[in-house]
Amino acid sequence: MEDKELMAVALEFAKLLPCHHAKTICRLVERVEELQPAPKSIVWEPKKAEEYWYVDIDGTLDDTEWRDGEEDWNLLIHHNAYKTQGQAEKAAKYQRRYNMVLQAVLNLEPDQVVDWKDMNQAKYGVVFNNKSGRWFYSDYYIVDNLHAPLTNKKNVQPLLDYLNAKEKGDE
């Protein structure tokens, strides 16, 4: 049995025990979790003199050699250093789409304040359906779908109209 499975069983077992024993098991589980090593990074980092690719400010791709300078580190800490040209090309496509949504949302609601803890504040997120080739929205309250949300429903349809026109190439 893996550690996580064992800890889950222990926590279930603790529910059946008197309070002082249950607290001991819960504390033991917490301690084991504290001692677990941090997960290995899945983010690639270039080594000195290694070539890497990045998406430039205008959306074009560029490659350079890691020199361990400030410019290199700025690209890396903003997750804009890719091992291959192909990865950078895919990233550029996603960045353009994300920036388009972000700019439109912030133009529609420049003073918005999203309070993720407020379950009563409506948050409207947009997602792209690749099968239908159209943008649509969902109203949600606590889930961040990685696109900036709108907080005013009157802005949802103008955003969808704009995004769907861009997908068709009308604008």
pLDDT at 167: 85
Task: State the helix-helix crossing angle for 19-35 and 3-14, rounded to 10 degrees.
Answer: 160
170 — pLDDT class (breaks 50, 70, 90)? low
Q: What is the pLDDT of residues 158-169, one digit of tens each?
A: 999 999 999 887
Domain boundaries of the chain, sorted by first residue: 3-35, 51-83, 95-168
Look at residue 142 and tell me whether its pLDDT is greater than 80.
no
> What's the CA gap between 105 and 140, in Å, rounded?
16
10 Å CB burial of residue 157 (0-12, 13-18, 19+) is exposed
Burial class of residue 108 in the structure, from the number of CB atoms within 10 Å of its CB (0-12 exposed, 13-18 middle, 19+ buried): middle
Letter for the amino acid at 126? V
Per DSSP, helices labelled H in the chain are 3-14, 19-35, 70-77, 85-108, 156-168
**Packed helices 85-108 and 156-168: angle between N→C axes, nearest 10 degrees:** 140
- 60-114 tens-digit pLDDT: 999 999 999 999 999 999 999 999 999 999 999 999 989 999 999 999 999 999 9
